[in-house]
Amino acid sequence: MTGKRNTEKNKKTQLPLVVRNKFEELQQRLSITFDNPSLLYNAFTHSSYVNEHRRKNFMDNERLEFLGDAVLELGVSQYLYSTEPGMSEGELTKLRAAIVCEPALVKFANEVEFGQYVLLGKGEEQTGGRMRPALLADVFEAFIGALYIDQGMDAVTKFLDTVVLPKISNGAFSHVMDYKSRLQEIIQQSNSGHLQYEVIEEKGPAHAKTFITVVRLSDIELGTGNGRSKKEAEQEAARHAISKLKSEQVEGEI
């Protein structure tokens, strides 16, 4: 691994000053400074750009994407392992898959505006490649791979702490998990009471409603949640209830 990392670090990518300045702007915005800027440039270099600049020393981002895919999975896996002690291996795998899937990566890439920095060939640019989901997902993974080579896992984790991990704790992926069943299992371990879910408020127009739901056990409120459907709001309420029970360490006292 050390040899590979040194090989990548020694490869240089030469870009016009105006382009390098854009990448300086990106680093400032992300509060990240690459020791080897060529790694950053490579992460945003599409194969179509390389094909149109064959006389220059350009590398595309495919190898970095390969590495970044694995590093991203590791970072997310470590986070889920430490924050979700009650999840089974199957549940952890399912949740991780939702976090690292293409649609999620596209959202992350758009949030940090990676699309505007991608180096594309003219043909790819003209056909809208800059906004192509697969391209944006690949760039996000390639950036993580570049950051890992340049600064190691701690820097990657810090970046994920800003862009990815807060969305997990805020319930952005609760739709893929059955939190209601998990909450029911927790309650059944120490109590025979019945969980009740109630919609306490509806907001917004009929075509874009938001439901706010509370979950109770024997008239004790355990959690509230909101969602675009009643089912989604119930899942979110259950997720908050589980978090509350864990933080208060009262699973065995209910």
184 contacts 235 by C-beta, under 8 angstroms: no
Q: Which residues have CB under 8 Å from 218's CB, separation 6+?
A: 193, 194
pLDDT at 109: 97
| 141 catalytic per annotation | yes
The reported pLDDT for the residue numbered 1 is 47
More confident residue, 243 or 70: 70
Architecture of domain 2-169: Orthogonal Bundle (1.10)
List 8, 60, 138, 141, catalytic entry: 141
Q: CATH 3.30.160.20: does it fit domain 178-248?
A: yes
The least confident of 42-46, 85-89, 140-144, 178-182 is 85-89
pLDDT of residue 249: 57
What's the rounded mean pLDDT across residues 159-183?
A: 86
Share of the chain above pLDDT 90, in %: 55
Looking at residue 189, what is its pLDDT? 80
pLDDT of 227 higher than 90:
no
Three-state secondary-structure class, residue 189: helix
CB 67 within 8 A of CB 149: yes
Q: What are 33-84's pLDDT values in tens digits?
A: 999 999 999 999 999 988 877 656 678 999 999 999 999 999 999 999 998 8
CB of 94 within 8 A of CB of 175?
A: no
Domain spans in the chain, listed from the N-terminal domain onward? 2-169, 178-248
pLDDT-above-70 percentage for the chain: 90
In the set 8, 60, 65, 69, the catalytic residue is 69
Judge whether residue 252 has pLDDT over 60: no
- pLDDT category at 192 given cuts 50, 70, 90 is low
Mean pLDDT of the chain: 87
pLDDT value at residue 59: 86
Of 222 and 4, which is predicted with more confidence? 222
pLDDT higher for 74 or 169?
Answer: 74
State yes or no: is 69 an active-site residue: yes
Q: How far is CA 57 from CA 47, 49, 146, 176, 249, in A?
A: 13, 11, 17, 44, 58
* Residue type for position 175: H
pLDDT at 165: 94
Q: Which residue has the tokens 């059955």?
A: 178
- DSSP for residue 180: H
pLDDT value of residue 3: 44
